[in-house]
Amino acid sequence: MKTNCLLLWLLALSFLGCKHNEAKDIESTTESYNSNTTDNTDNSDNSESRPVVKNKEVKSNGYWEKLEMKKNIDGNGMVSSILPMPTSWNLGADGITGPRGLKITYFPLQNFMANFDPNLQYAYSQSGQRMRQMPGIEQLVQQDFIPWGNSNGLQYVKYYEIPEITKMDKWYWDQLFKAMPSRSDVAVYGIDWKLQNGNSYFTIVHLNVSTSQSMQNWFYIAAGLEAEPSYFETAKKQYIFSLANTRYNLEPIMAYNKEEAQRVGANWAAFNARMAQNQRSFEESQRQFVNKSNAINDAIMSGWKASNAASDKNQEQFIDAMYERINVADVSTGKTYKVDEGANQYWMNNNGEYIGTQLQGYDPNFDDNMNELKWQELKRIEQ
């Protein structure tokens, strides 16, 4: 957002063609426009069919006055642009003054945005952004300018596009680095008013709308012109001519584009690093969650199994007591069997038949009456 504001102010200063030259009066020169000088850069793309202001004195005939190329100095002390203006006009930080009551006032820049993602609209609005979609020029005049005019004693007459300045603004905007693909709509409009005393008042509005798939950023900057009735139309035409014939120095544009490209690249790198760290943190939290869930589930399952085992054991003991049975095991194989209670020793042959005896030391393997079968002793399992 900091960079967006910087860009908007850069555009504002360039569109309106003025800049305060660090506590000094803004320089002026009567040298003719020369495309080979540092200050006067050849914008061949936007100079088609545009008259060139030469170093020739033009006597005032009620329309044109003697012109000179005024320099617009940026914050780094570089000439960002030059524009032809009457020698009697004075550029200042807040506007332009001149003879016969000429006063051009610069109004604050107004910028807005609209986010088309409903999930992000609230977050952007909480960040201080003015959320508003561009309503169209007709509605913009009705919503913003006519109420302002009424509160300042102005009567609205009409609005209209000024194509020659639109062309210049669009050329300048097209040269600037864009962080993401978007559609740019650039236009400049004039608004005519009448003061309460019958005098005329003129407002010029520079409008810029950038629309991408996810959002819309737009702004407008305006200036108001007033002068004595006998000079008003001349001043208005001269101001429009000056803005339409602005010449931009490409060096500050290239420097800005380079800085923006580096900044955006660094921001993307930082963003990707944050996203990678967030992904790692998410995966680690997921692992911890799974491990914790597994531990809880294992504990629950172990308790359930233990409870079932105890229940099964109690049930088994109860049934065995009813049927007077005990559990025995073949120590050679580990298999367990249930036999009738009451004997001291139990033996099982290869056929799965068992016998019980009260005799101590009895071994059926040495008993001729056991049909020479092999017998394996069964050990009692203590419950």
- pLDDT (tens place) for every residue of the chain, 383 residues total: 444 444 444 455 454 444 333 333 333 333 333 333 333 334 444 433 334 444 434 344 455 678 999 888 877 788 888 889 999 999 877 899 999 999 999 999 999 988 887 767 666 666 667 889 999 999 999 999 999 999 999 999 999 999 999 999 999 988 888 777 778 899 999 999 999 999 999 999 999 999 988 889 999 999 999 999 999 999 999 999 999 999 998 888 888 888 887 887 777 677 677 777 888 888 888 888 888 888 888 888 888 888 887 787 787 777 777 877 888 888 888 888 888 887 888 888 888 888 888 888 788 888 777 767 888 888 888 76
Q: Which of 234, 203, 12, 240 lies closest to 105, judged by CA?
A: 203
- The count of residues in the chain is 383
- 102 and 127 part of one domain: yes
pTM of the model: 0.56
Quick one: 79 and 23 in the same domain? yes
- 155 in the same domain as 22: yes
Same domain assignment for residues 130 and 257? no
> Do 151 and 19 have their domain in common?
yes
Shared-domain flag, residues 255 and 280? yes
State the chain's maximal CA–CA distance in angstroms: 151
Looking at the structure of the chain, the number of domains it has is 3
**363 φ/ψ sector (left φ>0, alpha ψ -120 to 50, else beta):** beta
- Residue 256's domain comprises 251-315
Looking only at the bridges linking them, the beta strands covering 247-248 and 215-226 are unpaired
178 and 276 together in one domain: no
Same domain, 281 and 136: no
Burial letters for 348-374: b for 16+ Cβ neighbours within 10 Å, e otherwise? bbeeeebbbeeeeeeebeeeeeeeeee
Q: Based on the fold, state whether residues 134 and 163 are members of the same structural domain.
A: yes
Amino acid at 23: A
In a domain, 41, yes or no: no
How many other C-beta atoms lie within 10 A of the C-beta of residue 173? Answer: 19
In 3D, which of 189, 187, 190 has the Cα closest to residue 169?
A: 187
Which amino acid makes up residue 321?
A: A
Same domain, 122 and 24: yes
Check whether residue 181 and residue 291 sit in a common domain.
Answer: no
